[in-house]
Amino acid sequence: MGGSGGWNRLGDVRSLEEKAKAALQGGKRNVFISFATEDMDEVNLLRAHSKNENSDIEFNDHSVREPYNSERAEYIKQKITERINRTSTTVVYLSKNTAQSKWVKWEVQRSLELGKKVIAVHSGQQFGGKKPNWLSKEIKVVPWARLSKELK
Rounded distance between C-alpha atoms, residue 132 and residue 96, angstroms:
9
* Predicted model pTM: 0.72
Percent residues over pLDDT 70 in the chain: 66
CB-based burial label for 107 (10 Å; 0-12, 13-18, 19+) = buried
Whether 53 shows a pLDDT value over 70: the answer reads no
54-82 residue pLDDT tens: 666 666 555 555 555 667 788 888 888 98
89-103 residue pLDDT tens: 999 999 989 988 888
In this predicted structure, what is the pLDDT of residue 44? 82
Domain covering 28-151, topology: Rossmann fold (3.40.50)
Domain ranges for the chain, please list them: 28-151
In this predicted structure, what is the pLDDT of residue 24? 45
Q: Which residues of 109-120 are buried (b: 16+ CB within 10 A; e: fewer)?
A: ebbeeeebbbbb
Rounded distance between C-alpha atoms, residue 87 and residue 68, angstroms:
22
Rounded distance between C-alpha atoms, residue 83 and residue 116, angstroms:
12
Question: Helices marked H in the chain — which ranges?
Answer: 9-24, 40-51, 73-85, 102-113, 147-151
